[in-house]
Structure 1
Amino acid sequence: MWRRMPVLMTVLVFGYAFLYGPILSLMVYSFNENRLVTVWSGFSTKWYGELLQNEQILDAAWLSVKIASVNASLAVILGTLAALALVRFKRFRGRSVMQTMVTAPLVMPEVIIGLSLLLLFVAMQKTLGWPEGRGQLTITIAHVTFSLAYVTVVVQSRLSHMDQSLEEAALDLGAKPLKVFFAITLPLIAPALLAGWLLAFTLSMDDLVVASFVSGPGATTLPMVVYSSVRLGVSPQINALATIIVLVVSMAVLIAGIVMYRKEKRASRLS
């Protein structure tokens, strides 16, 4: 086994270099003075200043953040309810259908999801008069539709491996089921809820295909703006934007990891 270690380490190093090398290169060239992103001509932060003055990108970023936040919150609520139903109620009519519908968006192509939701929104507008056109609302509904599946899987896994003796003891002592859920169950599954929220937020911020189908005039998300900009040539402002996103996401993942570690440690002490 020790003889294989150099080979394994070499493969590991090349693998991480292949994954993170382009990201590191992008971050380095965001400080390039030259407009050409592949020609280094000196250190400069002017592209960050121009980025902060680009109203199109800033408006799209703010719209994406709003949609992602609402999407993540709704997905966590609905996903938690779905996970509770699948884990705690082993037998009920339609359980297999519900399980299939929950996991279907995980494997279904995004083109199919976007097209089907577009046809649904058009039919609803003709029949009910709602929603009026496509925009922020339809994008949020579409994102909740597929983010819900990911959150359900994460929370369901946590609930399946959770010790139910604490809940049973609380019920035996006279606590109401709702009190047990908020005082015991919710704190124990909090790491899964946080992970599901971050996953749903990331999926929404990263989505391009589904949003392209269900968006309309005046509702352009950040991935759509970046994609349309890159098609005309990579701008140093896009490098600056990507660098900011990488730093923000890294900080969020670090904070989430610390919080989840503390939650897990506290839960292990209680159990």
Structure 2
Amino acid sequence: MMRSNAYTLTRSTPHAIIDSTKLQGVWQSIARLRAHDPTFRQVVLTDLYLGYQEARELAVVLAGNRYVTRLDLSCNKIGPSGVQCLAPALASMKMLFDLDLSDNELGDQGTFELVSQLKGHFCLHRLNLSRNFIGSAGARALSDMIAQDSPLDTFIASNNRIGGDGALALAEALAKNEHLCSLDLSKNEIDSPAAAAFAAAVGNRGKHSLVILDLSDNRIDDGGALMLVEATAINPWFSYLNLGGNRIGREGFENIAAWLDQNKEVCLVLELGRG
């Protein structure tokens, strides 16, 4: 357990693999949080095998914090039970701007627990949930938050299992959101029907549009890729589209090249490699 005077980690994972300098950093961080240090704005506790018990105790010292703007708990083992304990505390951190919970085995249930608390958080602008085994159910929960036009401007959910149905829900939510600027859904088994939905959302968003979209390493074919290029290229606010590592064949590349050749005024950074 982490205590006020002698902080230790109780997980069964061998502590020998955790660098002593990192452990010292944990102790110092907890002490500063307990003391409500107003200068402690960025909390980084990564790759420490923090699990359910540690999440419970961390929630106690984070609850109601008015100073922390960035919290990085990536590469731990928090899981759905741990995030259920943490989520209310995170929601109470009114100055929290940047939250990284990537690589924490949250799954759909953990994602639901997190989103149910973070809905309506007026300060959170950046959220990273990469590598969390999020499937279509978790994606639908996330889409509810995005559809409410949350203040998020950067959302990263790469390396999950969102799939076509989950991506469709996110695309529909994106069409209702006027704040999101950067979206990374790479490596999520997203197919061309979902790509078409994203194309429709991006093409109809007006001035407050998405400017960066990463759909690399998915299952988008020639037709889906062309629809995305056309939709993003004609949006004057859009700047970067990554479709590398998809199922784009020679004909798809040729069609995209021909379209761009006919629309030379387009200003777009487009990545199509690794296909």
Report the TM-score range of the alignment, normalised by the length of the smaller protein. under 0.3
Instruction: Tell me which of the two structures has the higher relative contact order, counting C-alpha pairs closer than 8 angstroms and 6 or more residues apart.
Output: 1
Larger Rg: 1
More helix by share: 1
Normalization by structure 1: what TM-score?
Answer: 0.22
